[in-house]
Amino acid sequence: MPRSSTRLTFAVLATGAGVFSMLQSLIAPALPTVQHALHASQSTATWVMTAYLLSASVFTPILGRVGDLVGKKRTLVAVLLTVLAGCLVAALAPDIGVLIVARVVQGVGGALFPLSFGIIRDEFAPAEVGGSISNLSAVIAAGGGVGMVAAGPIVSALDYRWLFWIPVAIVAATVLIAVRYVPESPKRAQGRVSWTGAALLSAWLVALLLPLSQAGQWGWGSPKVLGLFAAAVVLFAVWLTAEARSRSPLIDLRVMRLPAVWTTNVAALLFGAGMYAIWSFLPGFVQTPTAAGYGFGASVTTAGLLMLPMLLAMFVSGVLTGRLEPRVGAKALLTTGAALGALACAILSLWDDTQWQIAVVAGLFGLGIGLAFASMANLIVGSVPPEQTGAATGMNANIRTIGGSIGAALTSVLVTGRLQPSGLPYASGYTHGWTLLALLCLAATGAALLVPTRRPAPNAPAATGLTQAPARVR
């Protein structure tokens, strides 16, 4: 039976996941400040972002599976303590090397997403699961927006180290509340952690994401980039073979082949490409000096404020998803979210001359993010067995991250491929980049249309796994 402290449990989960999501974007606008303060080169400073990305990609599905096996609360508390340690080390880091190590430690917090979704499924009443997952997804999406908006004012008023001191205080309080009030679910998956599968998964993810994030500096045709891509393909094939043969796979490939799961994951890959690229390049666009023939010469703080409509729209649409899903279905919401993303990028490719146009586009894209985030999570959770929730939702988050890396890398090629004598990109580079992102989001819309349309019977509990009765086709 669901426990009585679901509101407090949700507050703990939302705080932990929201802080991690905020850490994902909080440091990006302040990276030049960090580079200058720690006397680092630009190429070294980029590892502050790359290390975090790689760490989160590796630990998210692995610790999601660990939570399914040994207990989600126990794993959640351990992950929160790890994030706390990472933030503390980052706040005190004397040089860029220590800060990069701290960011690797912080990346372990990626597991907060699948663990939180699993706890909600285990502990909340069936009628509350969908709405709670939507609300949590809204917090996760909005957390990234908070990072973009808050970075400038925090650095201007205090110091870049407060980008980590503030999360230290929040996470410390969250740990204390989680230990006392979050219940430990009695539900456990059977089996053990496949460390061979974990090692192979880590290897192919690093081999794929590392060249995507560093190709701009290494060169797309460099031996390092081509060699790592080749290694990623080989390691991915070996991982698939090992998982298929394992008695206790890290990621159950039968679950990943479910129609609702693989179509949602394809949509996550494509939409993630558009979403993360917008987060990465739109603030840079508005900060470009007007001498380049475009941009507004905005400060980091002003650029963050222009992203505020996206933050508000993400949160509102994510919360509304929980109320709309029982009426229209998660598939329709995912399709709408991806289509709104495509529309926003298409508008941006045609009209980006004034700040109000940027704000409108940011708000429109934010609506799409809120709808898509929440509906993806609900589609995955409603389609897999309870004991696979952590691994499946962790893999969905990972696939979204992989898509984001691909989208950011491709957009970077278009934006920075040809530079003005001043070293700034041409306006056409951004226009081509926005067009590409519109096409990627449009492809995500097509993938969302392939998701099986399902409606549970009235008052039926959430789906419980592979053996559930077939849902009615709408």
How many domains are there within the chain?
A: 2
Written in H, E and C, the secondary structure of 275-294 is: HHHHHHHHHHHHHCCHHHCC
pTM for the whole structure: 0.80
- The pLDDT assigned to 123 comes to 85
Residue 89 sits in the same domain as residue 228: no
Task: Establish if 468 belongs to a structural domain.
Answer: no
The boundaries of the domain holding residue 211 are 194-249
Residue 289 sits in the same domain as residue 347: yes
- The pLDDT assigned to 315 comes to 86
CATH of the domain at 21: 1.20.1250.20
- At residue 171, φ and ψ (nearest 5 deg) are -70, -35
Residue 237 CB coordination number (10 Å): 12
Residue 263 sits in the same domain as residue 205: no
Return the residue matching tokens 């699961």.
129
> How far is residue 4 from each of residues 37, 116, 122, 252, 381, measured CA to CA in Å?
48, 17, 13, 32, 22
Task: Establish if 470 belongs to a structural domain.
Answer: no
Residue 346 sits in the same domain as residue 383: yes
Of 178, 170, 113, give the one whose Cα is nearest residue 400.
113
Q: What is the pLDDT along the chain (474 residues), one digit of tens a residue?
A: 344 468 888 999 999 988 888 887 788 778 888 888 898 886 788 788 888 888 888 888 888 888 888 888 999 999 999 999 999 999 999 999 999 999 999 999 989 988 998 889 888 888 888 888 888 888 887 887 788 788 888 888 888 899 999 999 999 999 999 998 888 777 776 767 778 888 998 899 889 888 887 887 788 889 999 999 999 999 999 999 998 888 878 788 888 889 999 999 999 999 988 888 888 788 888 888 988 888 898 887 888 888 889 888 988 888 888 788 888 888 999 999 999 999 999 999 998 888 999 999 999 999 999 899 889 988 998 888 877 777 788 888 888 888 888 888 888 888 887 888 888 888 999 999 999 999 999 999 999 999 997 654 344 333 333 333 333 333
Task: Establish if 20 belongs to a structural domain.
Answer: yes
Residue 374 sits in the same domain as residue 428: yes
Q: How far apart are CA 313 and CA 118, in angstroms?
A: 26
Residue 306 sits in the same domain as residue 288: yes
